[in-house]
């Protein structure tokens, strides 16, 4: 177990992408604990998907802030804008920064590459520069299981090769890891990258499969199941992701020296996944049952008539599967929310959201 070396008590924390799925849950959790002095959320509220859903998440955060001893500040701005982070760091003197701002999605990157370069590369570079000139105790940032590409070594371990991405999105996430490593080495910025595996839950992203499937089935449309149902995904519930982030935030990588006596970069990577990949056919079956149980779909809904098996889509991979043993060893934590329980919570939320 690693020893906590970053106290959050009375600290100011930056959460980028605060109106996003993971960012909103993290901000709300930090405020709910009342430990930090201030949480500053940054988001540009772009229209990649329904902005009203992002505003709903912000209302959740504001509700938590009203009951919290911690202060909540929301800033609508773009992480890639040259002066954005420079001004924010000068104003708030952040102790810890958590970067969850990114243009997400594999398929969208095929037709909109410029958006990914702007947000995921330039935006992350701006954050690293801000941390360079305004030192933080710990920089935690979101990477992705997509960096493993079509790796045939299962489960995916952080030491596996990740130099053959199959999508631009994956390439930008791998680039984030390399940039963070370089800045940790050159400027002594303690940095931890977290490779998330297929995050799901209430108020998630509408472009994710479970959300899109729910929309189409509710509308009586046909859903497409890629790779003829043979894909397997390591679905990780949002609460498990947030718990992992919170534990990692308190443990910045140690400053050490190598065998040659030279300093090693204070830098680490971890997988955060459920370590229990499910087939898409099983996933759809459970989702359908929970949508029926929640009253979203009728009990006699004909699922077979609303499914179509199709080939693999470009940029996708057949399986994701996280080796989380380093996370378990260092933090005593392993994501373990069962898929059915997570989808049940989503279905109940979705019932109210879509009413």
Q: Rounded to 5 degrees, what angle do the CA atoms 286, 242, 214 make?
A: 30
- Residue 337 CA, chain-centre distance (Å), reads 16
Tokens representing residue 291 in the block: 């949508």
Q: Decide if 199 contacts 21 (C-beta within 8 A).
A: yes
| Residue 187 falls in the annotated catalytic set | no
Q: Decide if 290 contacts 202 (C-beta within 8 A).
A: no
Q: Rounded to 5 degrees, what angle do the CA atoms 340, 297, 19 make?
A: 65
Backbone torsions φ then ψ of 91, nearest 5 degrees = -80, -40
Backbone torsions φ then ψ of 39, nearest 5 degrees = -115, 120
Residue 173 CB contacts under 8 Å (≥ 6 apart), including other chains: 102, 120, 143, 144, 146, 147
Q: Decide if 109 contacts 68 (C-beta within 8 A).
A: no
The catalytic residue among 116, 141, 156, 169 is: 169
Q: Decide if 31 contacts 68 (C-beta within 8 A).
A: yes
Beta-sheet strand order (sheet of 96-99): 71-76, 38-43, 12-16, 96-99, 138-144, 191-196, 267-272
Q: Decide if 281 contacts 195 (C-beta within 8 A).
A: no
Backbone torsions φ then ψ of 70, nearest 5 degrees = -95, 150
Is 3 exposed, middle or buried (CB count within 10 Å of its CB: 0-12, 13-18, 19+)? exposed
- Residue 24 CA, chain-centre distance (Å), reads 11
Query: Active-site positions?
Result: 169
């Amino acid at each position: 177990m690693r020893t906590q070396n970053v106290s959050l008590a009375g600290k100011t924390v930056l959460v980028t992408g605060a109106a996003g799925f993971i960012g909103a849950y993290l901000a709300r959790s930090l405020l709910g604990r009342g430990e930090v002095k201030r949480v500053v959320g940054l988001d540009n509220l772009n229209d990649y998907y329904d902005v009203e859903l992002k505003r709903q998440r912000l209302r959740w955060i504001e509700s938590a802030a009203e009951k919290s001893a911690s202060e909540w500040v929301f800033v609508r701005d773009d992480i890639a804008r040259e002066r954005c982070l420079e001004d924010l760091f000068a104003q708030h003197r952040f102790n810890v920064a958590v970067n969850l701002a990114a243009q997400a999605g594999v398929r969208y990157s095929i037709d909109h590459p410029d958006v990914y370069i702007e947000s995921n590369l330039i935006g992350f570079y701006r954050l690293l520069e801000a941390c360079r000139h305004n030192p933080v105790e710990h920089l935690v940032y979101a990477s992705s299981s997509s960096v493993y590409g079509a790796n045939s070594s299962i489960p995916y371990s952080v030491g596996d090769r990740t130099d053959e991405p199959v999508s631009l999105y994956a390439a930008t996430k791998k680039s984030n890891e390399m940039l963070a490593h370089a800045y940790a080495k050159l400027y002594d910025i303690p940095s931890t990258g977290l490779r998330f595996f297929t995050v799901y839950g209430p108020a998630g992203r509408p472009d994710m499969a479970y959300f899109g499937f729910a929309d189409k089935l509710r509308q009586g449309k046909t859903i497409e199941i890629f790779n003829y149902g043979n894909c397997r995904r390591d679905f990780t519930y949002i609460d498990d992701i947030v718990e992992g982030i919170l534990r990692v935030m308190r443990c910045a990588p140690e400053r050490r020296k190598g065998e040659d006596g030279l300093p090693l970069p204070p830098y680490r990577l971890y997988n955060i996944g459920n370590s229990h990949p499910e087939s898409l056919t099983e996933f759809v079956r459970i989702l359908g049952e929970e949508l029926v149980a929640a009253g979203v779909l009728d009990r006699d809904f004909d699922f077979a008539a609303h499914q179509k098996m199709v080939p693999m889509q470009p940029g996708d991979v057949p399986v994701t599967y996280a080796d989380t043993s380093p996370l378990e060893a260092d933090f005593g934590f392993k994501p373990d929310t069962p898929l059915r329980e997570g989808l049940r919570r989503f279905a109940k939320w979705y019932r109210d959201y879509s009413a």
